[in-house]
Structures are given as C-alpha cells and as structure tokens.
Amino acid sequence: MIDTAVIALPTEYRTLPTAIADRLRELIIEGELPPGERLNERHLCERMDVSRTPLREALRLLAHDGLVTVIPNRGAFVAQMSPEAVRQSFEIMGALEALAAELACRNITDEEVGEIAALTFEMQACHARHDLPEYYRLNRVVHDAILAASRNAVLDEMAHKLNLRIQNLRFRSNLDVGKWNAAIHEHQQMVELLRGRDGEGLAQLMRVHLARKAEAVLAMLP
C-alpha cells in the first residue's frame, strides 16, 4: 500500500489530469504502485490534494496507455501482464529497438552521439551511487534518443506506445543487481557502436539487452 505523503505535482503542465497521470505513471514505473494494486480514489485524492474529477480523467489516460485496468463496479487497478505477454512484449520491443539501432547508425550525427555519451556517463554515476530512479530516467532518454536518431516517425511511435506498457517492467529488471551491472556495461557498448556506426552490432546488442531484461522480469514474477 502506498504511503500517505503528499505528492508534489509539477506546475508546467497544461492540464491537471495530465500532471496527475504523469506522476502516477512514475509511481507505477518505480513500483510504488505495484501490478494488481487497487487505486483507491479517496487515498490518492488526499495524497495529491486534488478532487476526484481530474483524478478519474488521469486514470482514463493511464487506462488508454495500458497501465491501468478499470473494472466496472470494482474500480481501477494497476495493470498486470501474464508471463507470456511479458515475453512477447519484450520480443517485439527488442525487434523495434534493433531496427532503430540500424537506422540510427546510418542517420545519427556526431553531436547526437556526443549527447548520448554524456547521458551514459551520467548513468554510470547514478549506477555507482545506486540511484535507480535517476538512472532509469536517463536510461529512457538514451533509448528515446536512439529511436529519434532512426529518423523513422512510424517506428518511433510504435516503440513509444509499447514502451508505455512495459516501462515498469524495464525498471524492475534492474532490481537484479547482476542484471543492472550488465545493463550499464551494455549501455557503454552502445556508445562505442554508435561512434563506429556499427548498425549490425548495435542491433544485435539491442536484442540481447531487451532479452536480458525479459529474463530478469520473468524471474521475478510469482
């Protein structure tokens, strides 16, 4: 059960429901709201200091993304995925990111490679101090940057939609220290392969990277 501390909502958002949805999304990704947990509206309203109307709209936004399941007469729950759905989702994600890697190596600029290298250096620092939330925030930026460098808007959109559903699983994969250590090493390799514009090598690494995450997640499932 989540604690009763007040959640500070960002002020730069255009709508309150969007702000609430984004904060809840982070709590789901980081496991503070675990799969299967019932989202108590009264509790969340008190914690976020909001009324039920924007909260319910936020829950609808998250349901659209596949992160929340709304059951009539029962309420909203953090979505759960079966082991088979987890396996299949990571297989597809691995294929999408592998294709993005190949295309990125053809189209990425030196400046973009430099930005990814700098972000990876920051990730190493987070890994060293065991700051998983900040590490994972940077991790998402890196993967998004590689997708953007593919210069393929359709691929980017497809990967983004699937990622919304499995971000919490990708985060959880790093709770296995051995897998987290392997992941940061793989990110260092990604930078070198991008510098060398080795599309084939980076595509293969992406498949391995996502497959290992799937293994870690599946090992944690009941």
Burial class (CB within 10 angstroms; exposed 0-12, middle 13-18, buried 19+) of 72: exposed
Angle of helix 177-195 versus helix 153-173 axis, rounded to 10: 150
- Residues 182-217, buried b or exposed e (16+ Cβ, 10 A)? bbbeebebbbebbeeebbebbbebbbebbebbbebb
Coil, strand or helix at 71: strand
pLDDT value at residue 14 = 57
pLDDT value at residue 222 = 75
* Structural domains present in the chain: 16-78 (1.10.10.10), 83-220 (1.20.120.530)
Q: What is the mean pLDDT of each run of 10 residues along the chain (222 residues)?
A: 43 75 95 95 94 96 95 94 97 98 98 98 98 97 98 98 95 94 98 98 98 95 81
Q: Which helix (H) or strand (E) holds 69?
A: strand 68-71
Distances (CA, A) of 96 to 27, 72, 90, 143, 163: 26, 34, 10, 11, 11
pLDDT value at residue 97 = 98
pLDDT value at residue 12 = 47
Contact 128, 105 (CB under 8 A): no
- Residue 6, Cβ neighbours under 10 Å: how many? 9
* Global pTM value: 0.87
pLDDT value at residue 140 = 97
pLDDT value at residue 55 = 96
Q: Give the span between the Cα atoms of 96 and 119, in whole angstroms.
A: 22
Which residues make beta-bridge pairs with 69? Answer: 77
